[in-house]
Amino acid sequence: MSARSEKIWNYVILTVMALIVLWPVGTFIAAAVSPDRAGRPSADLQWGNFATAWTNADFARSMTVSLTITVVVVIVGTVLALLGGYAFGVLGVVGDRVLFPVILLGMMISLEAIIVPLYYQFRSLGLTDSLLGVILIHVGMGVPFGVFWMRAAFRALPRAIFESAEMDGAGPLRMLWSIAVPNLMPAVYTFILLSFMWTWNDYFLSLVFLHGDNQTATVALGVFQGRYVTQINLMAAGGLIVAAPVLILYVIFQRRFISGMLAGAIKE
Amino acid sequence: MSIARTGAAVTPETGDGGSATEAIVVRRRRGRTSHARRRARTIGLLFAAPGLLIYAGVVLWPLVQSLQYSFYKWDGISASTWVGFQNYLNFFTDPVLRSTLGNVLVLIVFFAILPIALGLLSAALITSGKRPGMAVYRWIFFLPQVLTSVVIALLFKRMYAPEGPINEALRAIGLDAFAKNWLGDFTWALPAVGLIGTWVTFGFCMVLFIAGASSIPPELYEAARMDGAGPVREFFSVTLPGLRGQIAVALTLTITAALRAFDLIWITTRGGPGTSTLTPAVALYKAAFVNPDVGQAAAIGVVMAILCLIIAVVITRVSERE
């Protein structure tokens, strides 16, 4: 096979694969702006579908819930990850020979293994159907990855910057905020993006814990599609609304998403 | 359905304690007392404490309780009764619960084997020579990873619908006989759901392999070329062996994803028709929250966790041999 024909075949195969990946997305977008209730594509673009879906599904409420949960989880999670990563990566921790493996274990524990007692315990504490309860679970489940991620980032910093700061008499908190953190903003940004995506995209946890007025956008979308089986165009418009925040971030920060998820998968 | 949050091969020994020993060496050299070191480590514990406490409260403690719950029969309201290992035995004797394991085996083909094969193919095509446009393909193939599972489920509910694009395409090329309600068909629902997993996962496998391929020494390729190897032989004799580690990670993540499949299935089929797409996670959800048999649900969760752990350990060990 000549280099030229090899090159052409490369493009052909990749393009076919790309079309297969984009086919469901494309027809979905076409359906979302179609005036046809069955969602058949049409040249007459109906942008009003988004507004109709927004009101009919009461996305104003559920998107606010999702956004509240996500923002709080991202902020608290990032602070805890920085503190934990700094502790395990720079200061050292009493008992870290036991504690660190215990934290790593958390990356392998799936939600299914803990969801049942979690639900019944939170129910007796009055934390079901409350945003606080779901936020606590998201934050707690995020600690292992956060500590693991930030610890690696802190350890990649040259030790000299800590030593010279220590000579100047900086305390551990000041060293963390004014010296270490500014140096690892790239790692922090990636962590924020991943954490935003995981929290926003969550379905299982919200499905179990939040009902009625506290439904997140993903769960509300699930309910909406059940009620609007005959109005495919509105269902598709609703789907795009819920997917939009993360999608926009992906368009802007593609490299960070990919490199972050890779590093998260390899974890060594 | 991003799959990177849990479940990869972890070897704590390699990373553990490194910071402590390094700190000791550095400080000794600089003539510090062990008192200062101990003080830093105490402060470290204080810093790590808030995260550790929340983690212990919502992950570790419920994990222990899962074990405890799994030995009881409880409907979530009235008093519970001790049943020993009955809930675990049910998992393997109850025909419905046992069928979930068979379904998982089928899903593994679609969630793990196919995506890894397609991931290898696309990674090989994208990395062979620096050509324009490859970043676009990478962007497209990775896209499903950032979509929320509900939206993915809706995309494919529409694709598979009786009047959906797939059936219309089949009718357009004269294959009317093949058009069917894919998700409502006892034979086809499971592969149909499985293919959603393939669609979602292969781009992730691809970027994993692209990253791995970049660390294969170029001399190996040169040597293969000298021996007159074409692109196909080059792939099997250089690329594939060089990606052992990445393939192990991909296998671990995708097989556990198949075992844990919930969102996609719950929204598309709820485990039906009949039990043809029922997975352990869907059975768990039903037992925990639909028709409460809480102990059974906890036992399913524990079995799933143990299976995930075994899968991770076995794959890591096998890939590290030689």
Tens-digit pLDDT profile for residues A7-45: 888 889 999 999 999 999 999 999 999 888 888 888 888
Going by pLDDT thresholds of 50, 70 and 90, the confidence category of residue B1 is very low
- Same domain as B313, residue B247: yes
pLDDT higher than 80, residue A265: no
Q: Is residue B5 part of a domain?
A: no
Tens-digit pLDDT profile for residues B275-311: 999 999 999 999 988 888 899 999 999 999 999 889 9
Whether pTM > 0.90 for this model: the answer is no
Domain stop point among B42, B69, B96:
B69
Contact state of B15 with A100 under an 8 Å Cβ cutoff: yes
Cα–Cα distance for residue pair A189/A191, rounded to 1 Å: 5
pLDDT higher than 60, residue B40: yes
Q: Is residue B7 part of a domain?
A: no
Tens-digit pLDDT profile for residues A213-239: 899 999 999 888 888 777 888 999 999
- Same domain as A140, residue A24: no
pLDDT at res. B8 = 42
B interface mutation test: which of A70, A100, A112 has the most B CBs within 10 A? Answer: A112
pLDDT at res. B277 = 94
Query: Looking at residues A1-5, what average pLDDT do you find?
Result: 70
- Same domain as B252, residue B145: yes
- The domain tally of chain A equals 2
Contact state of A117 with B147 under an 8 Å Cβ cutoff: no
Chain B contact for A1, CB < 8 A? yes
Mean pLDDT of all residues in chain A?
89
Q: Map residue A76 onto helix, strand or coil.
A: helix
Chain B contact for A203, CB < 8 A? yes
B interface mutation test: which of A79, A116, A173 has the most B CBs within 10 A? Answer: A116
- Counting residues of chain B whose pLDDT is more than 70, the rounded percentage is 89
- The domain tally of chain B equals 2
Going by pLDDT thresholds of 50, 70 and 90, the confidence category of residue A267 is low
- Same domain as A241, residue A140: yes
- Same domain as B103, residue B25: no
- Same domain as A166, residue A144: yes
**CATH (domain of B308):** 1.10.3720.10
Going by pLDDT thresholds of 50, 70 and 90, the confidence category of residue A134 is very high
Chain B contact for A130, CB < 8 A? no
Q: Residue B287: closest CA among chain A residues belongs to which residue?
A: A116
- Same domain as A121, residue A96: yes
Greatest CA separation for chain B = 84
Burial class (CB in 10 A: 0-12, 13-18, 19+), B215: exposed
Tens-digit pLDDT profile for residues A103-114: 988 888 888 889
- Same domain as A10, residue A127: no
Query: Looking at residues B60-80, what average pLDDT do you find?
Result: 88
- Same domain as A34, residue A129: no
- Counting residues of chain B whose pLDDT is more than 90, the rounded percentage is 44
A93 to A17, A87, B44, B209: CA distances (angstroms)? 49, 6, 5, 35
Q: Is residue B81 part of a domain?
A: no
Contact state of B43 with A236 under an 8 Å Cβ cutoff: no
- Same domain as B212, residue B109: yes
**CATH (domain of A227):** 1.10.3720.10
- Same domain as A179, residue A80: yes
pLDDT at res. B322 = 55
Which structural domain, as residue segments, surrounds residue A201?
A: 57-266
pLDDT at res. B27 = 47
- Same domain as A184, residue A76: yes
Q: Is residue B74 part of a domain?
A: no
Tens-digit pLDDT profile for residues B197-235: 999 999 999 999 998 888 888 888 888 888 888 878 888
- List Cβ neighbours of A45 (8 Å cut-off, separation of 6 or more): A33
Which structural domain, as residue segments, surrounds residue B58?
A: 12-69
Q: Are B118 and B202 in contact (CB under 8 A)?
A: yes
- Same domain as A97, residue A13: no
- Same domain as A89, residue A65: yes
Contacts of A97 in chain B (CB under 8 A): 16-17, 20
Residue B21 CB coordination number (10 Å): 10
- Same domain as B175, residue B127: yes
- Same domain as A257, residue A127: yes
Contacts of A7 in chain B (CB under 8 A): 129, 131
- Same domain as B116, residue B157: yes
